[in-house]
Structure 1
Amino acid sequence: MVDVLTEIVIHRPRGVVASYASNPENAPEWYTNIKAVDWETAPPLTVGSRVAFRAHFLGRDLDYVYEFTELDPGARLVMQTAQGPFPMQTTYTWADADDSSTRMALRNTGKPAGFSAVVNLVMAPMMRRAMQKDLAKLKQILEAA
């Protein structure tokens, strides 16, 4: 089991951060490993929406579909996938850090399959570094806007 939580403070209002981060179409801009996104259900994003992602991680191309299972706009978003080599649940939460800043948390939990036991041991630290890099990119994009 892998459970990785990262957080960052972004100096933009919570509504701005949540709106941008929760839009799947923006994912390739701030997620280093996500290369493409394709809606399987019609936008806008709602509970039950399904979005296909193409990613590159650990030297592998991964295609998977996330289903959005919780959506509390501006506060929390949960999506999960059951298929592929790495069934995963991803949770975003947003909270006010102060009057004009947002604390965003990104949490990934899952049970890697199809990877060796050695790879599983290093999976969490590798995911943490990637997630920190992704949140830093998100911060850079939003604070430059």
Structure 2
Amino acid sequence: MLDVTQSVTIARDPAAVYALITDVESTPKWSSAIVRIVRDTDGPLAVGDTFTEEATLMGRIIRTAKVITELNEGAVYAEEAQGGVLPHAVRITLTAQGEATKLTFRLSGNPGRAAKIYGPLLGRALKKQIAKDLQSIRRLLED
């Protein structure tokens, strides 16, 4: 089982942070692992919407079909991989802290064969990538 949780405090209100993380097509701006996002629908993001994510994982390009599983304006964004190499779920929660926002990013999943092959390397790589992504989000919103 894979379970990685990282947090960052951002000097912006939850609405501003939520606007960035729910603009899924802009994810490559803050996640260097994400090459491209292609939504299957137009218009405002809604639970049940699907998209394809192209990402690099340990030097390989991985294409993953994803579905939005939870949206709570200014508070929660969640998505789930639909199969693929690394079945996982992402849940981002936003908590107001005065004039700032605490963003908590949780990635959980069951990598199956990948865990047997890559084991601890995968967990360490994901922790490092998520920490880097959160700092990118902070910089984008605070600058």
TM-score bin, normalised by smaller chain: over 0.9
Q: Secondary structure at the match of 1:17?
A: helix
1:122 equivalent in structure 2: 121
Q: With the length of structure 2 as denominator, give the TM-score of the two structures.
A: 0.95
Using the alignment, how far apart are the partners of 1:65 and 1:46 within structure 2? 16
- Per the TM alignment, residue 77 of structure 1 is displaced from its structure 2 partner at its CA by 1.2
Contact 2:115 2:122 in 1 (8 A): no
- Per the TM alignment, residue 114 of structure 1 is displaced from its structure 2 partner at its CA by 4.4
Cα deviation 1:84-139 (Å, max 9, x = unaligned): 110110001001111x2100010000111442625122222211110000000010
2:96 equivalent in structure 1: 96
**What's the Cα RMSD here?**
1.2
**Letter of the structure 2 residue corresponding to residue 74 of structure 1:** G
Q: Which runs of 5+ in 1 are unaligned?
A: none
Using the alignment, how far apart are the partners of 2:33 and 2:74 within structure 1? 24
After TM superposition, where is structure 1 displaced by more than 4 Å over at least 4 residues in a row?
none
Cα deviation 1:47-86 (Å, max 9, x = unaligned): 0010111001101110011100111111111110131110
Q: With the length of structure 1 as denominator, give the TM-score of the two structures.
A: 0.93
1:56 equivalent in structure 2: 56
Q: Percent identity?
A: 24
**Letter of the structure 2 residue corresponding to residue 105 of structure 1:** T
Q: Which runs of 5+ in 2 are unaligned?
A: none
**For this pair of structures, how many residues does the alignment match?**
143
Q: Secondary structure at the match of 1:83?
A: coil
Q: Counterparts of 1:13-28 in structure 2 under 5 Å?
A: 13-28=13-28
Compared CA separation, residues 63 and 74, structure 1 to 2 (3 A) = same
**Letter of the structure 2 residue corresponding to residue 82 of structure 1:** Q
